[in-house]
Structure 1
Amino acid sequence: MEKVLDVKDLHVSFDLHAGEVQAVRGVDFHLEKGETLAIVGESGSGKSVTTKALMRLIPNPPGRIKKGQILFDGRDLAPLSEREMEKIRGKEMSMIFQDPMTSLNPTMKIGKQIMEPLMKHQKLSKQEAHKRAAELLVLVGLQNPEMRMKQFPHQFSGGQRQRIVIAIALACNPKVLIADEPTTALDVTIQAQILELMKELQKKIDTAIIFITHDLGVVANVADRVAVMYGGQIVETGTVDEIFYDPRHPYTWGLLSSMPSPDTDHEAELRAIPGTPPDLINPPKGDAFALRSEYAMAIDFEQEPPLYKVSDTHFVKSWLLHEQAPHVEPPEIVKLQRRSLPGNYEKPVLAGEGVDNG
């Protein structure tokens, strides 16, 4: 497969009065043409900061890319000027944010908002952009485009606004689309529709997608590979099958244990992850998850674990994979989750069942 994005040793910090917040600490991942990579983790794990850094949307000051490479089609985006990035954003890389109302201009008709990137990046005439904008509205499932283009954002429902944002993001057929929790603010029925829409559009234009979410329930239906983030680092990465059927990191176990499923009959069976995420002004020594893990060993508090290879596609940052580590089994509820997962991921089973939209 062809790599369109290759992130190497990315560090992102924010310089605040209280000190330097090391929000992203040595992140490595890649994205191949036409695939979907889901990045999952709790709030504060660094997933949104990572993706905003890819688009160079980190406000400086206080934020900065401290170190690392963001190779997009072989070109490092990290040192580019703002003017150079403006030629890439919206044209070759696009982003869908969590709340569509923060992305749409409330004073501008949506037709003009869709036409803008087409005229700027594709150099289309006003008439050509108008025609293409109408086609995009139909593509994302909004009928009567001529009427819709004359309306303002407040005249649409939340799900319709998110469809408009998707249309804007896909207007120039970007090579990479970043979706930052695009369904969190929507109810489960609309959420499933938006996820299905993104899958259909991806097949049509062959765009690679980075899907950011705190909710593992939607991942099985949209992703090819999954990267689990904690404390500003990727602690486990693998295919969807590997993350759901053979998770190895205690934090991944914790996320799966707290995910409702048809096989969890009683609320008591769900397990919350104890404690709180680490203070990234003073990152913990050793394994960042050690203080919250019942499986932590002495070495977890002293040395940061390396990245262990489980398979060609599965990597885990945990001392539990060391050859001298004691053998531990994942919690029973993680095994139950395996049985409740769909055999194939084409049908949206988990997206609408017991999903936390918060």
Structure 2
Amino acid sequence: MDSILDVNNLHVTFDTYGGSVQAVRGVNFSLNKGETLAIVGESGSGKSVTTKALMGLVAKPAGKIPKGEILFEGKDLTKLSNKQMQKIRGKDISMIFQDPMTSLNPTMKVGKQIMEGLILHQNQSKQEAKKRALELLQLVGIPDPEKRINQYPHQFSGGMRQRVVIAIALACNPKVLIADEPTTALDVTIQAQIIELMKNIQKKMETSIIFITHDLGVVANVADRVAVMYAGKIVEIGTVDDVFYNPKHPYTWGLLGSMPTVDSQEEKLIAIPGTPPDLIHPPKGDAFAARNEFALAIDFEEEPPMFQVSDSHYAATWLLHEDAPHIEPPEAVKRRMKGFSTEGDNKNE
């Protein structure tokens, strides 16, 4: 497949009174045309900072990108000025933020907010932009768009506001759509509707999507590939099947073990012990070692490289070294893996 976005050795730091926070530490991934890549991990793992870097939204002067490149269609976005990024942001790369109420201007009608990008980036007249805004409201499933286009955000429910945010993000037919936990603030029923909506839109528009979430259930439904982040690094990456049915990193085991499945109602969920490390002073060796019950002596001394499991699957754990002892995932994690398989079979019936 053709790659539309390549992130190479990306580092993002933030200067604070306590020191420099190394929020993203050498991240590498690619995004193919028409693909959905999910980035998962606990809060503070660097997911949102990574995507803000892609959008040129790292807050300056505290935030910096000291190393790395973000290649979009061969152009390094880290080298562009804010004015140059404004031409790409919203037009070629667009973002759906987590909370629709803070993303929308409460003093402006939703129609005008959708039309803004069309007038700015597509040079459309107000009449053309309004026609397109009506089409977008219909596309994202908002009933009676002729009436709704003249209403304010407070007149919409949470789920409908998120649909408006998606309409704004899609207005200029972006090549890359970044969704930063777009379903977190919504109830389960509305979450399912928004996920289904995004899948349908992707089929129609062939948009490439980066989906940020901490909910592995969402990942199973929406993604083609999964990148697992911890302490500012990608520790495992592969297809959904690779990561869900053949996970290799103990942190991925912990995430899977902490997630309920259809068959796990009676079973106690696994909690990952401890807390993520302080990224002002990142630990020596594997950042997950202090929380990892399967840690080897080398984990506390040397950072593991990214080992290749298959053509599509990579994981950064010393357990994959040829001299490491063979350690299987915990039984509870294996049961979760079987649960995912059962749910997948049920969906296909």
Deviation at 1:266, TM superposition (A): 2.3
| 1:221 and 1:348 in contact (8 A); partners too | no
Structure 1 residues 138 and 345: alpha-carbon distance in aligned structure 2, compared to 1, 3 A threshold? farther
Answering whether residue 98 of structure 2 is matched by residue 98 of structure 1, we say yes
| 1:37 and 1:211 in contact (8 A); partners too | yes
| Structure 2 letter corresponding to 1:139 | L
Following TM superposition, the consecutive aligned residue runs of length 4 or more in structure 1 with deviations greater than 2 angstroms are 265-268, 342-349
Deviation at 1:344, TM superposition (A): 8.1
Deviation at 1:285, TM superposition (A): 0.3
| Structure 2 letter corresponding to 1:14 | F
Answering whether residue 325 of structure 2 is matched by residue 320 of structure 1, we say no
CA distance in 1, matches of 2:315, 2:338: 23
Q: Name the residue aligned to 1:48.
A: 48
Deviation at 1:122, TM superposition (A): 0.7
Deviation at 1:232, TM superposition (A): 0.3
Secondary structure of the corresponding residue to residue 78 of structure 2: coil
Aligned pairs for 1:17-28 within 5 A: 17-28=17-28
| 1:134 and 1:145 in contact (8 A); partners too | yes
Q: Name the residue aligned to 2:225.
A: 225
| Structure 2 letter corresponding to 1:328 | I
Structure 1 residues 137 and 347: alpha-carbon distance in aligned structure 2, compared to 1, 3 A threshold? farther
Q: Name the residue aligned to 2:331.
A: 332
Secondary structure of the corresponding residue to residue 88 of structure 2: coil
Secondary structure of the corresponding residue to residue 79 of structure 2: coil
Secondary structure of the corresponding residue to residue 87 of structure 1: helix
Secondary structure of the corresponding residue to residue 295 of structure 1: coil
Secondary structure of the corresponding residue to residue 78 of structure 1: helix
Answering whether residue 198 of structure 2 is matched by residue 198 of structure 1, we say yes
Structure 1 vs Structure 2: percent identity of aligned residues? 71
Deviation at 1:171, TM superposition (A): 0.6
| 2:262 and 2:343 in contact (8 A); partners too | no
CA distance in 2, matches of 1:104, 1:179: 15
CA distance in 2, matches of 1:224, 1:163: 23
Answering whether residue 210 of structure 2 is matched by residue 210 of structure 1, we say yes
| 1:98 and 1:180 in contact (8 A); partners too | yes
| 1:95 and 1:177 in contact (8 A); partners too | yes
| Structure 2 letter corresponding to 1:70 | I
| Structure 1 letter corresponding to 2:100 | P
| Structure 1 letter corresponding to 2:232 | G
| 2:177 and 2:210 in contact (8 A); partners too | yes
Answering whether residue 299 of structure 2 is matched by residue 273 of structure 1, we say no
- Partner deviation per Cα, 1:160-204 (whole Å, 9 max, x = no partner): 000000000001110000000000000000000000000000000
| Structure 2 letter corresponding to 1:283 | P
Deviation at 1:159, TM superposition (A): 0.2
Structure 1 residues 26 and 238: alpha-carbon distance in aligned structure 2, compared to 1, 3 A threshold? same
Q: Name the residue aligned to 1:179.
A: 179
| 2:237 and 2:315 in contact (8 A); partners too | yes
Structure 2 residue runs of 5 or longer lacking an equivalent are none
Deviation at 1:101, TM superposition (A): 1.0
Aligned pairs for 1:130-145 within 5 A: 130-145=130-145
Deviation at 1:343, TM superposition (A): 6.2
Deviation at 1:342, TM superposition (A): 4.8
Structure 1 residues 9 and 191: alpha-carbon distance in aligned structure 2, compared to 1, 3 A threshold? same
Answering whether residue 254 of structure 2 is matched by residue 246 of structure 1, we say no
Structure 1 residue runs of 5 or longer lacking an equivalent are 350-358
Aligned residues: 348
| 2:244 and 2:337 in contact (8 A); partners too | yes
Aligned pairs for 1:291-310 within 5 A: 291-310=290-309
Secondary structure of the corresponding residue to residue 323 of structure 1: coil
| 1:221 and 1:346 in contact (8 A); partners too | no
Q: Name the residue aligned to 1:75.
A: 75
CA distance in 1, matches of 2:317, 2:328: 14
- Bigger mean CA deviation after superposition, 111-120 or 329-338: 329-338
CA distance in 1, matches of 2:21, 2:137: 41
TM-score relative to the length of structure 1: 0.95
CA distance in 1, matches of 2:343, 2:4: 26
| 2:179 and 2:210 in contact (8 A); partners too | yes
- Partner deviation per Cα, 1:18-70 (whole Å, 9 max, x = no partner): 00000000000000000000000000000000000000101012111111000
Secondary structure of the corresponding residue to residue 341 of structure 1: helix
- Bigger mean CA deviation after superposition, 59-68 or 278-287: 59-68
| Structure 1 letter corresponding to 2:288 | F
CA distance in 2, matches of 1:140, 1:343: 31
TM-score relative to the length of structure 2: 0.98
Q: What is the Cα-based RMSD across aligned positions, in Å?
A: 1.3
CA distance in 2, matches of 1:88, 1:117: 11
Secondary structure of the corresponding residue to residue 134 of structure 1: helix
| Structure 1 letter corresponding to 2:26 | G
Structure 1 residues 80 and 185: alpha-carbon distance in aligned structure 2, compared to 1, 3 A threshold? same
